[in-house]
């Protein structure tokens, strides 16, 4: 797994004074009386006007947010960092992963049709382009929560249901459908499918929560939440490996930059409206931590095929060493036949997937100490060609299945990045 130390990627921009801080001065009695008088005097409309940035206050939300941050230095290296929204590909895919993520799937309101989908994509384009720069959305009721930008990314995708509702089912790629059934699946409908997806990621969970709420407010009357899943991992400035809650180093094998065109981005062989986009398979995987914890470290390493401490394969010394799956010792494979990395290994060009996993840790059920696991986000050009064969191998021979159970599964077409002046999905909805 690639390390992302303190220096931020070169494609990110830094906004000076991006962190917003409240004044340390205590509010005076006069200020409380002033607020009370305004409310008693029927100034509710004025407060709404403040949110809309109209002439009732004469102050735009962006100006309020900027004023609140004057003189405040960023409290972390990433606080003022802006990840560009405009580009050939959406941000939040090959972007070095942020510490916090929310995946939210919505279902379109029946009858909104293509016009409704277009309205939603237009609104989300406007919202994302502002929020990723640390600028409040239009009508933002909490403009101070839009900054600092904190490496925020908003990544939008469509499920098959969105194209059906829009009367565009004939333009859906064949892979935009539920994955085939795997023997290890115990899928729960509450974590399945969805018409529209927003993957929202940031280093700051407050910035993230505000962005999610802004998107949901924009969707009012067009779509409603189907499910929402929240995850976390180490921040981008950490030099330590990403680990899942089983203690394993996670996401080591990734396509390098030169492989992205072949493995991740959809090209001329895909639908015209998806060129420059990709697909997302999101699997919610529950972990049985109570029984996993009972294993000794050596047993865990045999199950995974890697050292628990360093993440190195059992045939190597560093995490990035290529596993030698043919190596034997005393006539037995050094990496067991049942090891996870043996079945997850990809050797064919163009078959790699881009892993962007996040941990989840929810309220445990009675009698259990954990309701935890992994939000396994996999980006690839074609799930049928890339993800499904790997998952079939894992389902058939991976001993890790004894401690992990997929309980959620969804597939989305991730739209290409918009050009200046375009909306997300413009080649599809016009």
Task: Name residues whose C-beta falls within 8 Å of residue 94's C-beta, 6 or more positions apart in sequence.
Answer: 257, 260, 264, 354
- Calpha distance 63→146 (Å, rounded): 12
State phi, psi for 93 to the nearest 5 degrees.
-115, -75
3-class secondary structure, 36: helix
* Long-range contacts formed by 22-27: CB under 8 A, 24+ apart: 22/68
* Alpha carbon 158 to its chain's center: 14
Note the Cα 257 to chain centre separation in Å. Answer: 20
- Helix, coil or strand: residue 317: coil
For 343, which DSSP code? H
HEC letters along 378-423: EEECCCCCCHHHHHHHHHHHCHHHHCEEEEEEEEEEECECCCCCCC
Report helix, strand and coil shares of the chain as percent, to nearest 5: 30, 20, 50
Q: Which two structure tokens, joined as six digits, stand for 107? A: 């279902």
Q: Cβ atoms within 10 A of the Cβ of 353, count?
A: 24
- Count of Cβ atoms closer than 10 Å to residue 150 Cβ: 29
Record the tokens describing residue 258, joined without a space: 């030169």
Q: How far apart are CA 159 and CA 152, in angstroms?
A: 23
The set of catalytic residues is 250
Determine the 3-state secondary structure of 71 from DSSP: coil
């Amino acid at each position: 797994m690639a390390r992302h130390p303190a220096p931020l990627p070169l494609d990110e921009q830094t906004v000076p004074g991006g962190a917003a801080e409240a004044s340390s001065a205590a509010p005076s009695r006069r200020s409380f009386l002033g607020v009370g008088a305004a409310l008693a005097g029927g100034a509710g409309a004025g407060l709404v006007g403040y949110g809309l940035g109209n002439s009732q206050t004469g102050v735009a939300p962006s100006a309020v947010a900027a004023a609140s941050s004057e003189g405040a230095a960023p409290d972390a290296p990433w606080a003022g960092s802006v990840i560009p929204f405009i580009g050939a590909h959406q941000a939040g895919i090959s972007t070095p992963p942020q510490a916090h993520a929310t995946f939210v799937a919505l279902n379109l309101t029946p009858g909104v049709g293509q016009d409704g989908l277009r309205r939603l994509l237009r609104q989300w384009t406007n919202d994302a382009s502002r929020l990723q720069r640390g600028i409040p959305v239009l009508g933002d009721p909490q403009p101070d929560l839009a900054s600092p930008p904190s490496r925020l990314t908003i990544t939008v995708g469509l499920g098959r249901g969105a194209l059906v509702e829009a009367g565009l089912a004939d333009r859906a790629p064949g892979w935009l459908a539920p994955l085939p059934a795997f023997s290890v699946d115990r899928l729960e409908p509450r974590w399945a499918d969805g018409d529209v997806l927003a993957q929202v990621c940031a280093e700051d969970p407050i910035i993230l929560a505000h962005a999610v709420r802004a998107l949901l407010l924009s969707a009012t009357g067009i779509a409603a939440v189907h499910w929402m899943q929240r995850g976390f991992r180490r921040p981008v400035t950490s030099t330590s490996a990403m680990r899942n809650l089983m203690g394993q180093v996670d996401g080591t094998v990734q396509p390098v930059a030169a492989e992205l065109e072949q493995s991740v981005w959809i090209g001329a062989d895909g639908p015209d409206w998806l060129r420059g986009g990709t697909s997302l398979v999101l699997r919610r995987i529950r972990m049985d931590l109570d029984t996993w914890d009972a294993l000794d470290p050596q047993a865990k390493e045999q199950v995974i095929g890697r050292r628990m401490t360093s993440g190195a394969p059992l045939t190597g010394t560093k995490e990035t060493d290529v596993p030698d799956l043919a190596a034997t010792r005393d006539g037995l494979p050094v990496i067991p036949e049942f090891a996870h990395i043996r079945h997850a290994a990809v050797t064919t060009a163009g078959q790699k997937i881009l892993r962007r996993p996040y941990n989840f840790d929810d309220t445990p059920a009675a009698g259990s100490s954990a309701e935890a696991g992994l939000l396994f986000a996999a980006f690839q050009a074609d799930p049928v060609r890339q993800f499904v064969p790997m998952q079939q191998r894992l389902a058939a021979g991976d001993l890790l299945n004894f401690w992990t159970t997929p309980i959620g599964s969804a597939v989305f077409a991730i739209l290409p990045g918009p050009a200046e002046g375009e909306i997300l999905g413009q080649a599809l909805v016009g």
